[in-house]
Amino acid sequence: MAATAMAASMTLTLTGCGSGSGDGDVTLKLIAADYGDSEANGSQHYWDELSRAFEKKNPGIKVDVQVYSWKDVDKKVEDLVKDGHAPDLAQIGAYADYAAKGKLYSADQLLSIPTQANFQPSLAEAGEYQRVQYGMPFGASTRRLFYNKKLFAQAGITAPPQSWSDIAHDAQLLKARGVKMPYALPLGPEETQAETLMWMLSGGGSYTDSIGKYRIDSPENIKTFDWLKDNLVGKGLTGADPAKLNRADAFQSFADGDVGMLNGHPTLMKQAAAKGIDYGTVELPGIDGKAKTTMGVADWMMAFKQNGHRAEAGKFLDFVYSDQNVEKFSGDYGLLPVTTSATQDMLADDKYAKFHGFLKQLGNAEFYPANKTSWPLVSKTVKAKMGAAVDPQGNPAGVLTDIQNTADEADNTTG
């Protein structure tokens, strides 16, 4: 890989600007997702400022960035590619299907060696399709358990939970104190696949085994969701029907002071602090103690071959992934940096102390099986079915087996 990357780097140096166009100036088109929660802090502002700085240093290359909501951005890119108008760059949620169809440049065809080597190893590996990196991580997060310190104190709870039995015990005390949602369990259609994976990991399972084969209906996963059904949902400790509770609503309820504890990512810190919530975070509780690992999530940057602007796209991406720009994006939007050097800078800065627990987990975090082209369908199926599995009358084993069958069929069809 090093030899390939060096060859690619030399090619970039030799060809220079305009290599893919045959004439002078080139305009790169980038479709990006919006991480802001209002017009004032939308991602368009970040990209406009970054693009102007890049264009000033590289007068032969223009960058046209269009930002879409997460609800629309993946579909926008999909439609453009289907219509034969692929953007040069896309910063979206999944890359594997485009890589499988041969539509993307690999990372070593685009990036300088120092840039590619600087990605967090766990993130770089998560961006590989058939052992070649096509997805370049852009924005990452890990998950921790958030708890409301005031509500815990009022319920007489002196320490955050470290095991499932602690969660159940503390939730009972919170309920007795009148807390609306002792434990918020968002298994509604918005982001069910995330909450599902967090609980799988805390129970010693996952979506896949060590060689990447789906193991959704494993004994560990069945035990996990049986426990949730019997010990949290069945005892009225979630305060809402998990199948109807979306992650955004659960976060808002935590910020409103109505939730005792829930699994969350770094952006919840800003949301809770804005409402004056005194909160703490701890590693995800497991069956008998802290979970061995947590969930990591990365969004992806990718470069399409169609327009032939490999050299220009690579030059722009080297700029995007400079420490200054990575740290600014992470700081602006409450996400974890995706490069090793920016991570080290953040860990050394007390200003980011509340991020340190999330950052330290990133190297060992487990990600969605986004390198499988079957994953989008499996994720969609999980969103549709997992909430009902933990209903007091639900059947976790039946639901997990049903999803496993869908996953096997999709895997056999798409690879």
Note the pLDDT tens digit of each residue in 144-166: 999 999 999 999 999 999 999 99
What does the pLDDT average to over 383-408?
97
Tell me the domains of the chain and their CATH numbers.
2-140+298-362 (3.40.190.10), 144-294+372-414 (3.40.190.10)
pLDDT for the residue 24: 54
Residue 25 pLDDT exceeds 70: yes
**The predicted structure's pLDDT at residue 10:** 37
pLDDT at 372 over 50: yes
Print the SS3 string covering 125-140.
HHCEECCEECCEEEEE
Give the model confidence (pLDDT) of 111-139 as tens digits: 999 999 999 999 999 999 999 999 999 99
How many angstroms separate the CA atoms of 88 and 313, rounded?
A: 7
3-state secondary structure at position 252: helix
Q: Which of 295, 267, 285 is nearest to 354 (CA)?
A: 267
Q: Give phi and psi for 148, each to the nearest 5.
A: -90, 110
Beta carbons of 281 and 265 less than 8 angstroms apart: no
Can you tell me the distance from the alpha carbon of 78 to that of 356, in angstroms, rounded to the nearest whole number?
36
Looking at residue 197, its pLDDT comes to 98
Question: By three-state DSSP, how is residue 317 classified?
Answer: helix
